[in-house]
Amino acid sequence: MYELHVGIDDTDSPEGMCTTYITCVIIEQLKYYGYHVSSYPRLIRLNPFAKFKTRGNGATSFMLRLNSISQIGEVKNIILNKVEDLSCLENENTNPGVVFLRGPITDELESFAINTIRNIMSIEDAKTMIQKLNAEYYIFKNGRGIIGALAAIGCPLEDYTFELLSYRLPENYGKKRNINHQSVISMDEKTYPQTFDNLDGKYMAIAPKTPCPILYGIRGETPDAVLKAHYLVETQEPIERYCIFQTNQHTDIHLQKINEIKNMQKYGCYIVSGEVKDTPWYIEGGHVFFKLKDDSGIIECAAYEPTKEFRKIVKKLQPGDQVEVYGGIGSQGTLNLEKIKIKSLTPVFFEENPLCICGKRMKSAGKDKGFKCSHCGEKIREKSKISKKIRRKITPGFYEVPPSARRHLSKPLIRLKGEST
């Protein structure tokens, strides 16, 4: 028995198609010809800040068990022909890549995959790794997809979730998705928290907004959970096919814990602790910013308008608060917040004038002249303003962005065990 790992990436475009759909079609065709696909195909999300990503920056992989080496040629032809046939090659930024690897997943390949998820890797980096592994690659156009294809094969899944993706008939691509909203509410009530991020208020988070082949995607902890949920969703349009993927989504695998702010770089994804330096502020568009500092430096953090109510939590921070932030750094050098853990709150005080013996609040009598009461005329010279502690309107613990603004890789709080959320 021979094992063959297959990785595919960069087949779609903003105008349509989806690498998961192409993978699903390929797997069905391979099964038709009698080939055995081992376990669930994998959907591996890569760095959310990659410059040339289409939407969710996802690559796919699966493993075949072959009876003889002679079968590899036919398998490659089936896969490559289907990738060429279905990919959006007319789009200038679509550059598919396919990788074939025989043999085990090495530690070096796993490290390459983690680097691809957390940082930015080049086509040359991928080619060098492929050569070390004695693997094969096939490119279309510039073949940038071999980076993600290789990472999808090598990504370790110590933590993982599952996603069931259902696909539309081709004639419905680009049209409004016809999903019974009430059935999604009912499905969520019956399957949460084994499935999650199905709804965001009245918004159906399972349905994408793009003209891709996906009708809806249900995310959950087990294959049984997402399949049960799938059968509870009612649609007013036919489903062409569906496929369950094992995935690194919602695991925080993209985040690397770092001890000093000065070591953070653009396009990297981090967990870092520090002290709130200044009072958070709004800018035009409804985005909220604050600066986080430690002994090594300062980083600007942002809760953007799509994070909705999460921004109100961020706006309540005060200088001196100790927090741990989760997110990635974009091209402007700002950390995009995905979650925040408030570790401790600094006491905040305000000052007020003393009360008069008559019970009324006194007024200033002038600089260094004490206070006087406009009601009864009483005067006092020696007293100063009274300092009072303000009751903060937030408490220590975890806070997260809503499902509609959550990145594919960000772990929702429902998956964090034993934390104050």
The CATH number of whichever domain residue 306 belongs to comes to 2.40.50.1010
3-state secondary structure of 175: coil
Q: Is residue 377 part of a domain?
A: no
Instruction: Point out the domain boundary residue: 112, 138, 154.
Output: 154
Residues 297 and 397 in one domain: yes
CATH number of the domain enclosing 231: 3.90.600.20
Q: What is the pLDDT of residues 299-319, one digit of tens each?
A: 999 999 999 999 999 999 999
Q: Is residue 375 part of a domain?
A: no
Q: For the chain, what is the domain count?
A: 3
What is the chain's Cα-based Rg?
27
Q: Is residue 362 part of a domain?
A: no
Long-range contacts, stretch 358-363, CB < 8 angstroms, 24+ apart: none
| Gap between the Cα atoms of 179 and 257, Å rounded | 40
pLDDT, residue 419, reads 55
Instruction: Point out the domain boundary residue: 120, 135, 154.
Output: 154
281 is written with which tokens? Answer: 């502020």
Residues 131 and 172 in one domain: no
Residues 65 and 140 in one domain: yes
Residues 12 and 89 in one domain: yes
Q: Is residue 370 part of a domain?
A: no
Residues 128 and 177 in one domain: no
The CA distances from residue 101 to 19, 40, 148, 370, in Å, are: 19, 17, 14, 83
Residues 101 and 29 in one domain: yes
pLDDT, residue 336, reads 97
CA 414 to chain CA mean position, Å: 14
Instruction: Point out the domain boundary residue: 247, 282, 298.
Output: 247
Residues 21 and 108 in one domain: yes
Torsion over CA of 372, 378, 382 and 388, rounded to 10 degrees? -70
Residues 260 and 320 in one domain: yes
Provide the greatest CA pair distance for the chain. Answer: 104
Q: Is residue 366 part of a domain?
A: no
Q: What is the pLDDT of residues 348-358, one digit of tens each?
A: 988 888 888 88
**351 contacts 386 by C-beta, under 8 angstroms:** yes
Q: Is residue 204 part of a domain?
A: yes
pLDDT, residue 359, reads 82
* Cβ within 8 Å of residue 391, ≥6 positions away: none
Q: What is the pTM of this model?
A: 0.91
Q: Is residue 37 part of a domain?
A: yes
Residues 280 and 331 in one domain: yes
List the domain range (segments joined by +) for residue 304. 256-347+392-415
DSSP 298-356: EEEEEE-GGGTTHHHHHHT--TT-EEEEEEEE-TTS-EEEEEEEEEE----EEEEPPBP
pLDDT, residue 351, reads 82
Q: Is residue 331 part of a domain?
A: yes
Residues 44 and 147 in one domain: yes
pLDDT, residue 418, reads 57
pLDDT by residue, tens only, the chain of 421 residues: 799 999 999 999 988 999 999 999 999 999 999 999 989 999 999 999 888 777 789 999 999 999 999 999 999 999 999 999 999 999 999 999 999 999 899 999 999 999 999 999 999 999 999 999 999 999 999 999 999 999 999 999 999 999 999 999 999 999 999 999 999 999 999 999 999 999 999 899 999 999 999 999 999 999 999 999 999 999 999 999 999 999 999 999 999 999 999 999 999 999 999 999 999 999 999 999 999 999 999 999 999 999 999 999 999 999 999 999 999 999 899 999 999 999 999 999 888 888 888 888 888 888 878 888 988 888 887 777 888 888 999 999 999 999 999 999 999 999 987 555 5
The b-or-e profile of 181-200 (16+ CB within 10 A means b, else e) is eeebeebbeebbeebbbbbe
Residues 119 and 171 in one domain: no
Phi and psi for 96 in degrees, rounded to 5?
-60, 150
Residues 167 and 298 in one domain: no
CATH number of the domain enclosing 112: 3.30.70.2200
